[in-house]
Structure 1
Amino acid sequence: MKNLLFLIILCTITLQSLAQQKDAKTDSLLVEYYQTQRYAEAADYLKKIYPEPVENPKIISQLAYTSNMAGRLPDAEGYYQRLYSVDSNNVATLINIASINSRRGNNPKAIKYYKRILKIDSTNFSVYRQLATLSKTTGDITANLLYLQKANALNPESGDVAYDLSSALILFGQNAQAEKILDRALSADTANILLLDGKAQVCYTLKKYPETISICQKLIDMDAKTSQIVSYKGVSEFNLKKYADCLITFHALDSSQTQSETSHYYMGMSYKALKLDTKAIYYLQLAIDDAISPNTNSYYSEIADCYDRLHLPRKALTAYQRGLTFGELPMVYYSMAAIYDTNLKDTAQAVKYYKKYLTAKKDADKQKNYIDFTEKRIVDLKR
């Protein structure tokens, strides 16, 4: 009897030892998978050693985590849903379900679970931040503003939230409040480029030109120069009648930040204010060129062609003439000549525009038939 009892105790000890060895081996292998970020292998390994049905929440949690990290989002959501059915108030589970749905593009479902978290923990900064982002994605700018305000109230020193909130407030015309939000965050991080960028925008909007110039110069000195920052600075200098400074600022744009209609306009106006009219004309003409699409003449040609097909030759000619003010197209001259020739029987005007067509720069090979016809038609009309 004693021998039997001893044998049972020995077997029990041995089994316990084997189980411990298995757990140690399992833990060691999983740690290796995690350290080398081989999450798919970790997930497959866990499924192998813990076949379904799995009811232990800790094991399900491990399966959920590894599946999530492996990018197997449907599997991960399935595991987290099993955990949710056991405890619907577990914040970690809710956060993971919401995050997975957001990654899968199911924003309404993600929002639903994030809101569920707020019912449990109304002071969760990260959740308000996520809801703000999702609301912006879905186009709900009112909700976006509300959640950003909640997040900012919990952590007013968060640069990302302060910047996003100030941008949202500017959209709603609340510029002064946007400035207060930025100032509070900047007091904690005076060199935050994102916040300084936002401050430059709000100061420019509020027409605080000296402060705008100062902030923009600080950003430029920090190698954070953008075309927008240069524009804020240059326009502010112009409005303060610092025309020479305005010109220096806009001339400093490098090749990767090409000049625009705005820069050319203010450069032209600055030269004009300095009574350098030749340069003023040059830059103002560049501003006009920037403002006009290079395809405008083609658009007018298409409109003219439509009028021609509607048998409205006068309107067609007007549209062709407008198009020519934006750039020369040889076929426009030909089309106008044809209208004068065929529809209006105006020989003089027809010859005039046929000749313009012949002297215009064009691909002679591709338009040979038109050229041959035009040359013959001029001869016929002059008889």
Structure 2
Amino acid sequence: MRIIILTTILLFSLRGSAQNTAADNLLILELLQNQRYDEAAETLRKIYPEPISDTKILSRIGYSLRMAGKLSEAETYYLRILEQDPTEISSLFSMAGISQRKGNFVKAKEYYKQILASDSTNFSVYKQLSDMIESSEGLIYATTYLQKANSLNSSDGDIAYSYSKVLKDMKQFESAARVLNDAIKADSTNLILLRGKAELAYAMKDWNGVIDICSVIIRDGDRSPNIVKMLGEAYYSVRKYQQAIDILEGMEANDMKTESTLYFIAMSYKALKNYNKSVDYLNKTIKESISLNTAGYYAQIGDVLEKSQLTRKSLEAYQKSLFFDNKSLTLYTIATIYDQKLKQPKTALSYYKRYINSKPPAEQKAYIEYSTYRISQLSK
């Protein structure tokens, strides 16, 4: 719809030129409607050869090039407009947008500030600034622009949600609630705003509020992990342990488990005096809390220490690696250290056997053959 509107504006702006014809208009319309922006730009440049001073024509060529992804070329046309009128808002917006797409957020901010210099109540600018700064620097750094945008348009859901998050993180719960409620008055079915209310209730430990709001959100089709997790934890917090288990085990079944969800399942089973289940889930919690890379990190520490001739310390690191993951190659490494460096044949034999029993992959054929040979030698 936005493209159609812009296309219509483009055509009307061109009709005033004596050089333009109905056939040209139809051709440009067809190109733009089919998103053939590069061809549209070339057609416009053929119809309007240089030198071009008409800012409307410069703007249309710039627009076509920008939509075609030719950002540097588009910039040259917008800059020519700004040379004639440094306060031309549409071109400043376009230059800010191009700068954002090119990752030059500092430059984009300067263009937005130029717009504000002549239009200090431009909501769109504050919204663009807050979105850009939130994504590039972090939400907290967008606070000033979010506050201003919200004061100009309190019903905008995206702004209200982001601004309420800032206020929530600053423990300004009443202000955050007011921002969300004002926006919800304008759009009571906005799930983003309802999510914000659920997150605020969670931060305030208003567990019944969390249950009520999350239930509405889930009923309306949003079963995102964070919403389900908050609901499960809220049921636990109001001592509805079986409901908490049902919800959080559902997350586990759908591969959405986290350390936190497993912990609350364990605590719910504990409260219900199902101690076997509680221990099972506490063990799962411990496993989930450990990085999958921990064993590898300890193995790397062992390798570094071994290369540093710190043999005993390297063994300690390798043993820690085995605690997190019984990897066959780590077993082989320990076996060779005891065998070749420490000359402890009994311990080496034990680790060679553990290595073979771990069923190492076929690509470790050389290690398998060597271990088998050493087992036969050390067993004599």
**TM-score, with length taken from structure 1:** 0.84
Match of residue 241 from structure 2: 243
Shift of 1:106: 2.5
Match of residue 53 from structure 1: 51
**Amino acid in the other structure paired with 2:116:** L
**Amino acid in the other structure paired with 2:270:** K
Match of residue 379 from structure 2: 379
**Amino acid in the other structure paired with 1:62:** R
Match of residue 367 from structure 1: 367
| Aligned positions of 1:330-349 closer than 5 A | 330-349=328-347
* Percentage of pairs with the same residue: 38
User: SS of the counterpart of 1:177?
Assistant: helix
| Aligned positions of 1:72-151 closer than 5 A | 72-139=70-137, 141-151=139-149
Match of residue 184 from structure 2: 186
Query: For the residues of structure 1 that align with 2:27 and 2:273, how far apart are their CA atoms?
Result: 79
Query: For the residues of structure 2 that align with 1:250 and 1:369, how far apart are their CA atoms?
Result: 48
**Amino acid in the other structure paired with 1:368:** I
Match of residue 197 from structure 1: 195
Match of residue 277 from structure 1: 275
Query: For the residues of structure 2 that align with 1:158 and 1:311, how far apart are their CA atoms?
Result: 64
Q: Measured at CA, do residues 76 and 314 of structure 1 come closer, stay the same or move farther in structure 2, by a change above 3 Å? A: closer
Q: Is the Cα contact below 8 Å between 1:156 and 1:184 reproduced in 2?
A: yes
User: SS of the counterpart of 1:134?
Assistant: helix
Q: Measured at CA, do residues 89 and 359 of structure 1 come closer, stay the same or move farther in structure 2, by a change above 3 Å? A: closer
User: SS of the counterpart of 1:253?
Assistant: helix
Structure 2, unpaired ranges of 5+ = 1-16
Asked if 1:289 is matched to 2:293, the reply is no
1:271-296 Cα shifts (integer Å, max 9, x gaps): 11111112112222222221223343
Match of residue 231 from structure 2: 233
Q: Measured at CA, do residues 254 and 193 of structure 1 come closer, stay the same or move farther in structure 2, by a change above 3 Å? A: farther
Q: Measured at CA, do residues 134 and 361 of structure 1 come closer, stay the same or move farther in structure 2, by a change above 3 Å? A: same
Query: For the residues of structure 1 that align with 2:90 and 2:343, how far apart are their CA atoms?
Result: 84
Query: For the residues of structure 1 that align with 2:36 and 2:346, how far apart are their CA atoms?
Result: 83
1:51-106 Cα shifts (integer Å, max 9, x gaps): 11122333333333333344433333222222212222222232222222223333
Greater gyration radius: 1
Q: Is the Cα contact below 8 Å between 1:185 and 1:195 reproduced in 2?
A: yes
| Aligned positions of 1:30-45 closer than 5 A | 30-45=28-43
User: SS of the counterpart of 1:215?
Assistant: helix
Shift of 1:238: 1.3
**Amino acid in the other structure paired with 1:374:** R
Aligned residues: 362
Shift of 1:239: 1.8
Shift of 1:22: 5.9
**Amino acid in the other structure paired with 1:183:** N
Query: For the residues of structure 1 that align with 2:278 and 2:115, how far apart are their CA atoms?
Result: 61
Shift of 1:158: 0.3
Q: Measured at CA, do residues 322 and 173 of structure 1 come closer, stay the same or move farther in structure 2, by a change above 3 Å? A: same
User: SS of the counterpart of 1:252?
Assistant: helix
Shift of 1:203: 1.3
Query: For the residues of structure 2 that align with 1:269 and 1:174, how far apart are their CA atoms?
Result: 31
Structure 1, unpaired ranges of 5+ = 1-18
Aligned alpha-carbon RMSD (Å): 2.7
Shift of 1:177: 2.7
**TM-score, with length taken from structure 2:** 0.85
Shift of 1:248: 1.2
Q: Is the Cα contact below 8 Å between 1:166 and 1:181 reproduced in 2?
A: yes
Q: Measured at CA, do residues 224 and 51 of structure 1 come closer, stay the same or move farther in structure 2, by a change above 3 Å? A: same
Q: Is the Cα contact below 8 Å between 2:360 and 2:368 reproduced in 1?
A: no
Shift of 1:253: 2.7
Query: For the residues of structure 2 that align with 1:258 and 1:166, how far apart are their CA atoms?
Result: 27
Deviates more, 1:99-108 or 1:263-272: 99-108
Deviates more, 1:357-366 or 1:242-251: 357-366
Q: Is the Cα contact below 8 Å between 1:354 and 1:378 reproduced in 2?
A: no
1:83-142 Cα shifts (integer Å, max 9, x gaps): 212222222232222222223333222211110111101110000011112222441655
1:195-253 Cα shifts (integer Å, max 9, x gaps): 11111112111211110111111111111011111111111211222211100111233
Q: Measured at CA, do residues 187 and 309 of structure 1 come closer, stay the same or move farther in structure 2, by a change above 3 Å? A: same
Q: Measured at CA, do residues 362 and 122 of structure 1 come closer, stay the same or move farther in structure 2, by a change above 3 Å? A: same
